[in-house]
């Protein structure tokens, strides 16, 4: 949305809704956001099935040592995946992604 506003030369102080900006650009939905969702889901399936190696899988599943910073926790990569898939736990996401054919058919009909 920020890029669209820059292209249309809309100031950040102008009180124009995102829907109005999308209407001016000529998009009915945010195609960029949908594309990002699909790419993240495909990559998550690739990593969780172990196709990209053990190190990538450990990075996604692992935790970082040390103290957390103050304030609200940042949304993690896997939290996005869980939300989009409608699953409550990482284990459920993992089981669903292990079935490659079923996961591909689900992701082809997915909408953000």
- pLDDT, one tens digit per residue, over 22-55 is 889 887 667 777 888 888 888 888 888 877 777 7
Average pLDDT value over all residues in the chain = 82
pLDDT of 88 > 80? The answer is yes
pLDDT of 9 > 90? The answer is yes
Residue 10 confidence (pLDDT): 92
Residue 65 in tokens: 């040592």
pTM of the model: 0.64
Residue 8 confidence (pLDDT): 92
Where exactly are the structural domains of the chain? 30-62+73-112
Mean pLDDT of 16-27: 88
Integer Cα distance of 44 and 37 in angstroms: 10
Residue 28 confidence (pLDDT): 66
| Closest to 45 (Cα-Cα) out of 111, 106, 89 | 106
Residue 6 confidence (pLDDT): 93
pLDDT of 110 > 90? The answer is no
């Amino acid at each position: 949305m920020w890029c669209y506003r820059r292209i249309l030369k809309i100031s950040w102080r102008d009180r124009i809704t995102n829907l109005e900006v999308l209407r001016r650009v000529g998009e009915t939905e945010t195609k960029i956001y949908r594309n990002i969702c699909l790419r993240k889901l495909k990559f998550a399936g690739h990593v969780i099935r172990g196709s990209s190696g053990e190190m990538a899988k450990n990075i996604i599943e692992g935790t970082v040592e040390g103290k957390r910073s103050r304030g609200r926790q940042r949304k993690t990569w896997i939290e996005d995946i869980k939300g989009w898939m409608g699953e409550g736990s990482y284990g459920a996401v993992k089981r669903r992604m292990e079935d490659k054919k079923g996961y591909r058919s689900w992701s082809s009909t997915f909408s953000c």
